[in-house]
């Protein structure tokens, strides 16, 4: 396993990490989570990502129960959560969801810590921007969260580059804890924001990136070339837009071509896509997902493919996928 600093912070993360979106509670129970997380740790993974909105808080519960059962020393692992959606994004009660105001944030951190059973989170993210709350209010609240000892670092997810810079400038001006990380989507079909909008912030303010959906929700694995199989994540509620991507003939052709290239490199399509995402020096950690131990083992095989991301291979990958990226 390789380790990279989170931007300019001193925190080191495994280049491949393990997330819980969609899987924990919905597809993965505590026993399965414990098995997968133990195998991930044995392979060198030290970063485990979560969010209060995943499975209405139950993802945090499952991960917390697994951590408790594994009895890891606290220094061995990094764990995160995210705030914005609340526990039920459909109910939308006032000050309970879809907000980053101070009242919500100061109570949300306590709820997440209680569910996961920890004294503090290493990383906390503002899960989406909130146009109805002044950025300055959010920055003060997140900084106070760190000052209280309930979190060590904070950042954002899917914020615009301009808003991230604004938050950083506010923190700099008032001597507050600055945002050190952004968590954006990044894969072969979704890359422009990372490569064009966030790259200058990586250079200018030392922003770290922990990227999600490196396999485009499984599309880049090639397993959806013949449609959506039963029991896959695309059959879960709320995955309608992802199902539409399966029917995109241009992307399916590109996935087939990428699969052929992966065969040349003696790796799986998933390993090729993961190694491509991790080759970007702006990326601190690539968040992977797994509902089975075999998926985790296949994904972590991407570590051995990293040194094959040479200019010739990267050019061939760009020729196949770049025209379809946004």
In a domain, 233, yes or no: no
Q: Is 54 a catalytic residue?
A: yes
The pLDDT of residue 270: 97
In a domain, 93, yes or no: yes
Q: Which residues contact 278 (CB under 8 A, 6 or more apart)?
A: 15, 16, 286, 302, 306
Enclosing domain of residue 112: 3-216+280-310
In contact, 182 and 156? CB cutoff 8 Å? yes
Residue 208's CATH number: 3.20.20.100
In a domain, 159, yes or no: yes
In a domain, 229, yes or no: no
The pLDDT of residue 228: 67
In a domain, 22, yes or no: yes
The pLDDT of residue 269: 97
In a domain, 272, yes or no: no
**From the candidates 3, 24, 54, 224, which is the catalytic residue?**
54
The pLDDT of residue 77: 98
The pLDDT of residue 197: 98
The pLDDT of residue 243: 59
The pLDDT of residue 225: 79
The pLDDT of residue 89: 75
In a domain, 253, yes or no: no
Q: Which residues contact 194 (CB under 8 A, 6 or more apart)?
A: 184, 186, 209, 211, 280, 282, 283
Ordered mean pLDDT values, 10 residues apiece, the chain (326 residues): 97 97 87 96 98 95 97 98 90 87 98 98 98 98 98 98 98 98 98 97 98 95 75 56 68 96 97 98 97 95 97 98 93
Q: How many domains does the chain have?
A: 1
Task: Outline where DSSP puts E strands in the chain.
Answer: 3-5, 12-14, 16-19, 47-49, 78-83, 121-126, 151-156, 179-182, 208-211, 283-288
In contact, 110 and 120? CB cutoff 8 Å? no
In a domain, 260, yes or no: no
């Amino acid at each position: 396993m390789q380790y990279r600093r989170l931007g300019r912070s001193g925190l080191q993360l495994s280049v491949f990490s393990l997330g819980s979106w969609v899987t924990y509670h919905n597809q993965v129970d505590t026993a399965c989570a414990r098995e997968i997380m133990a195998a991930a740790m044995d392979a060198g993974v030290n970063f485990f990502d979560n969010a209060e909105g995943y499975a209405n808080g139950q993802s945090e519960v499952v991960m917390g129960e697994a951590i408790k059962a594994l009895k890891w020393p606290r220094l061995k692992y990094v764990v995160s959560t995210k705030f914005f959606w609340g526990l039920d994004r459909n109910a939308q009660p006032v000050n309970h969801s879809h907000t980053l105001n101070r009242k919500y944030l100061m109570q949300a951190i306590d709820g997440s810590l209680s569910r996961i059973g920890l004294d503090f989170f290493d990383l906390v993210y503002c899960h989406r921007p909130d146009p109805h709350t002044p950025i300055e209010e959010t920055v003060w609240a997140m900084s106070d969260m760190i000052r209280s000892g309930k979190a060590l670092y904070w950042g954002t997810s899917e914020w615009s580059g301009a808003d991230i810079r604004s938050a950083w400038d506010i923190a700099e001006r008032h001597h507050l804890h600055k945002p050190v990380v952004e968590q954006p989507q990044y894969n072969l079909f979704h890359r422009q924001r990372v490569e064009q909008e966030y790259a200058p912030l990586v250079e200018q303010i030392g922003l770290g990136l922990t990227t999600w959906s490196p396999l485009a929700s499984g599309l880049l694995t090639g397993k959806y070339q013949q449609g959506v199989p039963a029991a896959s994540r695309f059959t879960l509620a709320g995955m309608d837009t992802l199902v539409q991507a399966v029917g995109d003939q241009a992307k399916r052709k590109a996935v087939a071509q990428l699969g052929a290239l992966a065969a040349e490199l003696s790796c799986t399509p998933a390993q090729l896509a993961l190694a491509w995402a991790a080759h970007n020096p702006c990326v601190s950690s690539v968040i992977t997902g797994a509902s089975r131990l075999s998926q985790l083992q296949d994904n972590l095989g991407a570590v051995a493919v990293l040194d094959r991301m040479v200019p010739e291979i990267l050019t061939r990958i760009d020729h196949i996928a770049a025209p379809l990226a946004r």
